[in-house]
Amino acid sequence: MSCTSRLNADRGRALGCVAALFLATGCAGRFDPANFEGNREARRAEPEALVELAARTNELQTLGIVRDRCTLTPGFRRLDGDVLSDVDCSNERLMMALRESAASAGGEALLGARCNSRRLGTGEPARYELTCAAEVARYRVGALANPRPLSAPRWVAPGRPAPSAGDVKRIDQPDAPLAFRICLHFEPVVSSFERPPRESADVHELAILPLSHTRLGDLAASCKGDCDERALRYGVLIAAGRLGAPDVVGVRCFRSARGNSCIGTLAAPERAE
């Protein structure tokens, strides 16, 4: 097959995959990173600069409550329009979403943040619902109060010389709202595959499929609206890690009338690492 024919065939398969993805009901998910209920004010801080406190102090005024949830189904499986926030469902991702939503509402602090999980039903595969919630507050008096309406939002919390490992991870990942907009489609080409989930940083991007590897299937990440290529490429790696795949081969991205998409082939060595 010529290079042009191969490209056209690959693009046709990709477009078909994405078309099926967008028809799935899972792609009609929320576009907000979390659910905030309360009074919104002008933005004062970026998500990374919000402080977490156990309770409200006299310096703070409460704006409202922010909460979010996701549904986790562990293991290697077919994905049919699943949103990235469910495939990579974790307390850490939910807290990222809470920070984004709280900062957008004008908050500078999360009060009494708490997360819970529960199993949904008794069937197999097991499914779990994770929920996180917190009060949102901002400073009205004190050293951290900043009543000037045109001041730039605080980027990092005062007194911190450098971003923590958690901060760096949040910066590297797609924005929290995008995780609720990126839809995933994966059709396994193997009957079974059992490997533990891994962090996206431990998933390798390969240009070609090694002879020692088995192809697991193509995984597509797509988004209606304005999702940049970097976020979609990273979404492929995150989902691959959650499915236990150690490698993604030949990631290719393109734009169509349906939105932006990236597709990669999941693969793994025939012998477990």
Q: What is the pLDDT of residue 175?
A: 67
pLDDT surpasses 80 at 94: yes
pLDDT surpasses 90 at 153: no
CA distance 273 to 269: 7
Dihedral sign computed on CA atoms, order 8, 18, 236, 272: negative
CA distance 186 to 180: 17
pLDDT surpasses 90 at 189: yes
Q: Which of 95, 94, 91, 89 is nearest to 73 (CA)?
A: 89
Q: Which of 101, 111, 93, 85 is nearest to 181 (CA)?
A: 85
pLDDT surpasses 60 at 20: no
Domains and CATH numbers, the chain: 3-28+181-269 (no CATH), 35-75+90-164 (3.30.110.70)
Q: What is the mean pLDDT of residues 199-227?
A: 92
Q: What is the pLDDT of residue 160?
A: 58
Angle at Cα 66 formed by Cα 142 and Cα 64, nearest 5°? 50
Across the chain, what does the average pLDDT equal? Answer: 82
Q: What is the mean pLDDT of residues 66-93?
A: 94
Q: What is the mean pLDDT of residues 261-266?
A: 96
pLDDT tens digits, one per residue of 231-262: 899 999 999 999 999 999 999 998 887 788 99
pLDDT tens digits, one per residue of 44-62: 888 888 999 998 889 999 9
Q: What is the pLDDT of residue 223?
A: 87
19 or 225: which leads in pLDDT = 225
CA distance 175 to 173: 6
Of the pLDDT bands very low, low, confident and very high (cuts 50, 70, 90), residue 124 is confident
Q: Which of 139, 128, 132, 60 is nearest to 99 (CA)?
A: 132
Strands 60-72 and 35-38, bridge-based pairing = antiparallel
Q: What is the mean pLDDT of residues 114-124?
A: 92
CA distance 150 to 155: 15
Rounded percentage of the chain residues whose pLDDT exceeds 90: 58
pLDDT surpasses 50 at 42: yes
Q: What is the pLDDT of residue 48?
A: 86
pLDDT tens digits, one per residue of 24-36: 334 544 455 689 9
DSSP 91-135: HHHHHHHHHHHHHHTT-SEEEEEEEEEEE-SS-SS--EEEEEEEE
Average the pLDDT over each of 4-8, 169-173, 175-179 and give the range with the smallest value: 4-8
pLDDT surpasses 50 at 147: yes
Q: What is the pLDDT of residue 180?
A: 86
Q: What is the pLDDT of residue 196?
A: 94
151 or 222: which leads in pLDDT = 222
